[in-house]
Amino acid sequence: MGDERAGSTGSTDSTGSTGTTDSTGSTGTTDKNGHTDGNEWTIGFRGAECRLWLGSYNGLSVVKKERFVKNYRITELNTKITKERIRAEVRAIAKIKDKSPELGPLLPSILFVDQNNIIMTRIEDSVNVCQYLSDGQTDETIDELLVALGQTIARIHNCGVIHGDLTTSNFMINSKKNLLIPIDFGLSSFSTSAEDRAVDLYVLEKVIISSH
């Protein structure tokens, strides 16, 4: 995951949803009706742009993606980038769910969004492809994985979505069910241009050559 989160400040979106921080530093969430999840959030991953928290929301096992302030950026730029990336992720997931009968059902469902956070259902029993490859795989398994990667990217592109950050860390694999699931659409955009699709693939090619 290229960007991921510990302790955000409270914020309110246009619906009245707020984020609140408990005494442990993990972030609770209050929806527009004033319902607070009341659960502890456990840090799952820290990245350059976000933190991922693991917890529950409305009885579901979820991930909260919290985009935090970067101190070296001016406030206006922080706000602009955070808004753009949250909006891009929400729109891309919604479009793929609407357009792709194969890929859409595999993507997490978004349950809550505010100025800094997205709460979505957790992808269970999976690891990212980067970790999967580092655990050691046979040539046959790697060949099958590359075919699945190509098919998954084609489905993303056929929805008119450019991922914008195709890396092996941004795909989850459930080897038991033979499922490959793309994640982290914060840098995504909408385009059907062959050139934009080629750039998407080029980014992944460079990552595979340099990292694997």
User: Which segments of the chain are extended strands (E)?
Assistant: 18-21, 27-30, 42-46, 50-57, 60-67, 110-113, 117-121, 127-128, 161-162, 171-174, 179-182, 189-190
Distance CA 96, CA 36 (A): 30
Q: Report, as residue numbers or ranges, the catalytic residues.
A: 165
Residue 82 has which token pair? Answer: 């955070």
- For a pLDDT cut of 70, what percent of the chain falls above it? 82
Instruction: Indicate the CATH number for domain 127-211.
Output: 1.10.510.10
pLDDT for res 136: 84
Q: What is the CATH number of domain 18-121?
A: 3.30.200.20
Residue 195 phi/psi, 5° resolution?
-65, -45
Domain residue extents for the chain: 18-121, 127-211
What is the reported pTM? Answer: 0.81
Give residue-wise pLDDT tens across range 18-62.
Answer: 333 333 345 455 554 434 455 689 999 898 889 999 999 999 999
At 29 the pLDDT is 55
Please tell me which residue, 98 or 18, carries the higher pLDDT value.
98
Helix (H) or strand (E) holding 25: none
| pLDDT tens-digit readout, 100-145 | 999 999 999 999 999 999 999 999 999 999 999 988 889 999 999 9
> Angle at Cα 52 formed by Cα 35 and Cα 101, nearest 5°?
85
